[in-house]
A and B are shown apart, each in its own frame.
Chain A
Amino acid sequence: MYRSKIHNEVQVTMNYNLNETASKTEQKKSTLAALTKLLGLIKEEKRTLIIAMIIILINAGLSLLGPFLIGHTIDTYIQSKQYHGVILFSGILLCMYITVFITNYLQITLMGGVGQRMLYSLRNAVFNKLQILPVDFFNQNKAGDLISRINNDTDKLNQFFSQSLMQFISSIFTMLGAGIFLLSINPELGAAALLPALVIWIFTKSISPWVKGKNAANLKSVGGLSAEIQESLNNFKVIVAFNRRDYFRKRFGEANQKNYATSVSAGLANNIFTPVYGLSSNIGQLIVLAFGIYLITTGQFTIGLLIGFLAYIYSFYQPLRQLAALWASFQVAMAGWDRISQILSLDTNLLVIEDQKTDSSSAYLSFRDVSFTYPNGKEVLHHVSFDLERGKTYAFVGPTGGGKTTTASLIARLYDASTGTVLLDGKDIRTYHPEERTAKIGFILQEPFLFSGTVRDNILYGNPEYRNLSNDELAEVIKESGLESLLVRFDEGLESKVQTSGDSISLGQKQLIAFMRSVLRKPQLLILDEATANIDTITEQLLESILQKLPSSTTRVIIAHRLNTIENADEIFFVNSGEVIPAGSLQDAVNLLLHGKRES
């Protein structure tokens, strides 16, 4: 009835290793396409952007007008000694300067605001994506590299948007205006003067992918550096205890040196624009001078026009020089955006599938011919089938590395089976919405993780039902669940401080918090994966009695190798070498443990 063929249709294979997928996505993606995608993120800013554009235009126009008005005043009034005209035009200029003051303020506020808000939505989008992606993604990427992508790379985009974009736009406007002037004064000379600009355009176009590549390599090495720091600092205890401070220095030194090398080559690549643009601009002036004088000798041009022409050449090439610097920061931003969109383009491979027909068996959870292979190619489970009945207690025992945790992870759907089906309450586990599924299944992980905050924050983590209870009400609930004797072990009860890293809280205490957290959620199926391994045996008996008090319909799955924790199990499964075999009795399990072929 449950054939693996249904499964194959849904199985989504996804490579989550960002550094492996990098080279693939990089190829052949036009800047324009990337930019369009980026602008999609700030759709709602369209109005603001349009207003900002208009203001930038006004500002650029007025700024160009100023020198013209001053020139006019000098020519017409000062030279003819009419002071009232000077005062009149000073008044006009003052009004204009006040307008410039306002537009200047507005353009910075508007564009900067767009930049900040874009950074905000970009970070949110990336973080949101991180929450959608499955555990597999985190196992394949380093924390430091991910942090670097969310923080550093988004910031590169922000820098471009809030600081450079404004200059970028106004430079382009000024340039276009001057270019049109040049061509209209004398098309021949104008075209000649703009020739170097064409060369620049070709140069920029052909060199940009290379520059972007250098920046991408640099951002990658920044990610690597951050990953290195992250790993070493989090494992500092071992580094000190084993006298390997030099190890930290050496590993960091290598990453630092690598980062230095890529940064220098990215810096050199980025800095190539400025001198080249400057040279072209000067050559443009030389062409105008030489060609202009030639035109004058042939009588097609006047000396007065040449002087004016030279001034416009300046207003054409000056913004172009600024563009050189901006273009480099644009390339950096695009390289950062590539790294971010790599994450954004990933999707979860744990999709919710269409409702299948329900299974009539009474089992609450069943494995049907389940095999599982980790992304690194290691097959951990081979054709496993078993049933777990409602309200019973099951123990999974077996040597380390036999597949116990993997089995539990499949029950909680942290992964999907490679082939075969996992049924929860008669339905394929993949048909459940995450909310429904996680409410039914409680899973106490082998390595407890606490969020920084208080004990209260942590035991109510992911528990919407009790989140808004006052401490007194919560204490009542805790008492009802029989957990109050566990809470006593924290000096300040619910308000005891918890740090993610460090020694302020012991591993045993972490396990107690994880235990309380799971019990308070009242799951239908509770998995304890070595969940009490670091808790003393007396407390463990207490936990045992709390487990007994769970509603009679609760199914318990206990993974342990301490026999006393499993002696009350209704059924024992022996998990070894990727197989799950029912052991008749505790004695059977012991025999299997002692004499069964172990593979670890």
Chain B
Amino acid sequence: MSNSIHQKEPGKQSKPNVFSLLKPYRGMITFLVIFALLSNGVNLLLPKIISRAIDAFTAGHFVFRTVVLEFSVAAFVIFFFTYLQSIVQTFASEKVARDLRTRLSDKISRQSYTYILKTNPSKLLTNLTSDIDSIKMFVSMAVVTIFSSIFMIVGTSVLLIRINYKLAVPIIAIIPIIGGTFFIVLKKVRVLFKRSREVIDWLNKVINESIMGSAIIRVLNAQQAEYHKFMEANTEARNLGLGILRLFAALIPIVTFTANLGMLVILMLGGHFVITGSMSLGDFAAFNSYLALLIFPILMIGFMSNIIAMASASYARINEVLEAPEIIETGTVKASLHGNIELINVSLSYGDKPILKDISFSVKGGTQVAIIGPTAAGKSQLLNLLTDLVKHDQGTILFDGRDIESYDKESFRSQIGFVLQDSVIFNMSLRENIAFSDKVTDESLEKAINTAELRDFVDSLPDKLNTIVSERGTSLSGGQKQRIMLARALAINPKIVLLDDFTARVDRETEKKILSNLEMNYPDLTLLSITQNIASVKHFEQIILLMEGEVIATGTHRELMETCTEYVQIENSQRSTSHYEL
């Protein structure tokens, strides 16, 4: 299908810098750098010890034990500090990754339901996994390397200038050339890195859909189609990978070549100085060996810039999530709900598409109300509004005479049991699935299970409530899942229960039992039920007929039968079987 990759421009207002991430870990990073510099520094001593030993030997006052001792001590000090560095490095990078993940998940967990839908879970998955990984790599490899490389570059540059500034100037001039090349290439690469992350989102989406839809794919024998979709994304990923490669394939040889030219300059210019006598041979030799010391860190920075570019692209993506505006909960009312609901001219639209138009009705606390209407009339959306999962555009929604916005969301939602149309089963025990809120007591759990007619089912399981149910709930039948959803909603002892097409997957006999259980066990409950089936809601206090986002009629069954032709039509469509009174 469409290969649309959103070419969204990142928020220009704040330029996120990966290095700023390290601030809270200053202590660790400092130690890291110190250990690295120490081990590198001592490493530079080794050639000194060797040359001194050789000098001493030729001079004839060589002491075997001192040399061995000095050398061994240096070797073990190096070992010690490299090991220490590697330990600190591991902890630092993993801590940064873990903490950033926690920050991200905290942020996501505080976002609204609509935000998650808009941002798309596949992208958030990449944020929390691949993006964090590239930042981890940055911390574990780039930070130390860059510090020690800069240290080496500055150090050797100073030494070079002190030896012979005339020769040093052209050598040091290669640094900006190399720097400039990096700058240009990395600028181009950044765009590609960002795109390659988006392609990973895309791949994730295709894989995800092919997993979620595995059954229908097999029923339709559409494996080939899926493979093509995947190939398309994968080919794009490969091409991007090759594009990035081409840029780096040019960068690294250019850097090496420039450095080699530096060698040549020393050879020709320095050689000239030596021949004309303005430079000693010893200085010339030293120059040569220091150049080697200068070039290695430049190359290392080059390799690291790859990692930094990737990490920056990832951090920019993560930052988009971190800086997204949060929902501001202004509501403070924690009052206990009676169940009086009033909607006044409520409208909702998605983009230009109106979903609900000017909805007005009221529900008296403790009554039972049915919402009936054709497919795509906006029934489920209405329930989304009533739980404040989705915000309405216009109009007012009142609970017990107070605006829905004025309620403290946590207290508000803990009084509303919402039974979704799609069954959502978490991969954990049946008990945890039903007692999904931590406020559920054993007593209310029992009551919920009995009311939802799940008792026999639970008893038939070998581990009873401790049975683990699977991710997509495949070990359960549709009706069982639906009743677990109901029990979950009832377990919080709600004041209001919203049922979204609950009857669809439950047979009528069970449904009838459940409805009478509800009346018996939860006498004060306000019930709003979306249903297709008139027979089971005939006795409800109110029936609301919703069509194409509008309320067509409200009233009791009898009233609607007399006044509303659409309702009569629906009733007729169900009449043919109604003589089998169940």
Q: Is A bound to B?
A: yes
**Is B345 close to A, CB under 8 A?**
no
Contact A501 B245 (CB under 8 A): no
Contact B86 A124 (CB under 8 A): no
User: Chain B nearest CB: distance from A70 CB in Å?
Assistant: 6
Closest to B390 in A: A503
Closest to B492 in A: A242
Size class of the contact patch on chain A: 35 or more
Closest to B206 in A: A127
**Is A385 close to B, CB under 8 A?**
no
The CA of A290 and the CA of B54, in the complex, are separated in Å by 11
**Is A31 close to B, CB under 8 A?**
no
**A274-295 interface bits toward B, Cβ cutoff 8 Å, 1 = contact, 0 = none:** 1110110011011001100100
User: Chain A nearest CB: distance from B137 CB in Å?
Assistant: 9
Contact A127 B207 (CB under 8 A): yes
Closest to A71 in B: B288
Contact B78 A282 (CB under 8 A): yes
* Known contacts A152-B129, A286-B68; is-contact A534 B504 (Cβ 8 Å): yes
Of A87, A286, A310, chain B has the most CB atoms within 10 Å of the CB of: A286
Q: Which residues of A contact B456 (CB under 8 A)?
A: 598-600
**Is B396 close to A, CB under 8 A?**
no
* Known contacts A233-B121, A533-B504, A535-B375; is-contact A116 B238 (Cβ 8 Å): yes
Closest to A124 in B: B234
User: Chain B nearest CB: distance from A83 CB in Å?
Assistant: 6
Contact A374 B475 (CB under 8 A): yes
Of B203, B219, B224, chain A has the most CB atoms within 10 Å of the CB of: B219
**Is B217 close to A, CB under 8 A?**
yes
**Is B221 close to A, CB under 8 A?**
yes
User: Chain A nearest CB: distance from B562 CB in Å?
Assistant: 20
**Is A58 close to B, CB under 8 A?**
no
Contact B492 A538 (CB under 8 A): no
User: Chain A nearest CB: distance from B116 CB in Å?
Assistant: 5
Contact pick for A537, options B214, B248, B532, CB 8 Å: B532
* Known contacts A225-B129, A243-B414, A567-B577; is-contact A378 B475 (Cβ 8 Å): yes
Closest to A566 in B: B577
* Known contacts A235-B426, A256-B105, A508-B376; is-contact A399 B510 (Cβ 8 Å): yes
Q: Which residues of A contact B248 (CB under 8 A)?
A: 108, 112
Q: Which residues of B contact A514 (CB under 8 A)?
A: 216
**Is A493 close to B, CB under 8 A?**
no
Contact B124 A135 (CB under 8 A): no
Q: Which residues of A contact B256 (CB under 8 A)?
A: 100-101, 104
Contact B212 A143 (CB under 8 A): yes
User: Chain B nearest CB: distance from A259 CB in Å?
Assistant: 7
* Known contacts A289-B53, A293-B64; is-contact A146 B207 (Cβ 8 Å): yes
Contact B374 A539 (CB under 8 A): yes
Closest to B355 in A: A503
**Is B250 close to A, CB under 8 A?**
yes
Q: Which residues of B contact A506 (CB under 8 A)?
A: 375-376, 379-380
The CA of A508 and the CA of B245, in the complex, are separated in Å by 48
Contact A563 B204 (CB under 8 A): no
**Is A81 close to B, CB under 8 A?**
yes
Q: Which residues of B contact A252 (CB under 8 A)?
A: 101, 105, 109
**Is B138 close to A, CB under 8 A?**
no
Q: Which residues of A contact B220 (CB under 8 A)?
A: 438, 461-463, 517, 521
* Known contacts A240-B389, A491-B353; is-contact A303 B54 (Cβ 8 Å): yes
Q: Which residues of B contact A260 (CB under 8 A)?
A: 94-95, 97-98
* Known contacts A74-B285, A225-B129; is-contact A66 B413 (Cβ 8 Å): no
Within 8 A of A (CB), among B412-442: 413-414, 416, 418, 420-424, 426-427, 436-438
**Is B241 close to A, CB under 8 A?**
yes
Q: Which residues of A contact B457 (CB under 8 A)?
A: 401, 600
**Is A449 close to B, CB under 8 A?**
yes
**Is A263 close to B, CB under 8 A?**
yes
Q: Summarize A's interface: helix, strand, loop or mixed.
A: helix
Contact B1 A279 (CB under 8 A): no
Q: Which residues of B contact A249 (CB under 8 A)?
A: 105-106, 109
The CA of A274 and the CA of B427, in the complex, are separated in Å by 41
* Known contacts A112-B245, A229-B128, A445-B215; is-contact A274 B263 (Cβ 8 Å): no
* Known contacts A233-B125, A400-B507; is-contact A503 B480 (Cβ 8 Å): no
The CA of A446 and the CA of B504, in the complex, are separated in Å by 11
User: Chain B nearest CB: distance from A98 CB in Å?
Assistant: 8
Contact B221 A462 (CB under 8 A): yes
**A564-581 interface bits toward B, Cβ cutoff 8 Å, 1 = contact, 0 = none:** 100100000000000000
* Known contacts A97-B264, A113-B242, A236-B116; is-contact A500 B212 (Cβ 8 Å): yes
Contact B245 A293 (CB under 8 A): no
Contact B230 A124 (CB under 8 A): yes
User: Chain A nearest CB: distance from B371 CB in Å?
Assistant: 12
Contact pick for A237, options B54, B109, B389, CB 8 Å: B389
The CA of A463 and the CA of B215, in the complex, are separated in Å by 16
Q: Which residues of A contact B336 (CB under 8 A)?
A: none
**Is B89 close to A, CB under 8 A?**
yes
Contact A507 B217 (CB under 8 A): no
Contact B125 A445 (CB under 8 A): no
Contact B86 A274 (CB under 8 A): yes
User: Chain A nearest CB: distance from B544 CB in Å?
Assistant: 14
Within 8 A of B (CB), among A387-407: 399-402, 404-405
Closest to A260 in B: B98
Q: Which residues of B contact A345 (CB under 8 A)?
A: none
Contact A256 B569 (CB under 8 A): no
**Is B44 close to A, CB under 8 A?**
no
Contact A303 B58 (CB under 8 A): yes
Closest to A278 in B: B82
* Known contacts A100-B260, A144-B125, A461-B225; is-contact A135 B50 (Cβ 8 Å): no
The CA of A451 and the CA of B133, in the complex, are separated in Å by 29
Q: Which residues of B contact A120 (CB under 8 A)?
A: 234-235, 237-238
Contact B117 A242 (CB under 8 A): no
The CA of A593 and the CA of B582, in the complex, are separated in Å by 10
Contact B234 A139 (CB under 8 A): no
**Is B46 close to A, CB under 8 A?**
yes
Within 8 A of B (CB), among A96-146: 97-98, 100-102, 104-105, 108-109, 112-113, 116-117, 119-120, 123-124, 127-128, 130-132, 134-135, 137-139, 142-144, 146
* Known contacts A237-B389, A245-B109, A563-B577; is-contact A274 B82 (Cβ 8 Å): yes
Contact A401 B507 (CB under 8 A): no
Q: Which residues of A contact B242 (CB under 8 A)?
A: 112-113, 116
The CA of A81 and the CA of B272, in the complex, are separated in Å by 9
Contact B212 A538 (CB under 8 A): no
Contact B263 A231 (CB under 8 A): no
* Known contacts A235-B424, A445-B219; is-contact A79 B102 (Cβ 8 Å): no
Closest to B418 in A: A241
**Is B576 close to A, CB under 8 A?**
yes
Cβ contacts A to B, 23 pairs, < 8 Å: A70-B288, A90-B264, A93-B260, A105-B250, A105-B253, A123-B230, A130-B211, A131-B226, A137-B214, A139-B474, A147-B211, A148-B129, A260-B97, A264-B94, A267-B94, A282-B71, A399-B510, A438-B220, A447-B478, A491-B353, A504-B350, A507-B422, A564-B573
Extra 19 A-B pairs, beta carbons < 8 Å, given A283-B75, A441-B219: A70-B267, A77-B271, A83-B272, A94-B264, A127-B207, A131-B227, A132-B223, A139-B472, A147-B208, A151-B204, A234-B121, A238-B488, A243-B409, A253-B102, A271-B90, A282-B78, A285-B46, A307-B54, A500-B209
Q: Which 4 A-B pairs have the closest CB atoms?
A: A400-B479, A462-B220, A508-B375, A453-B1
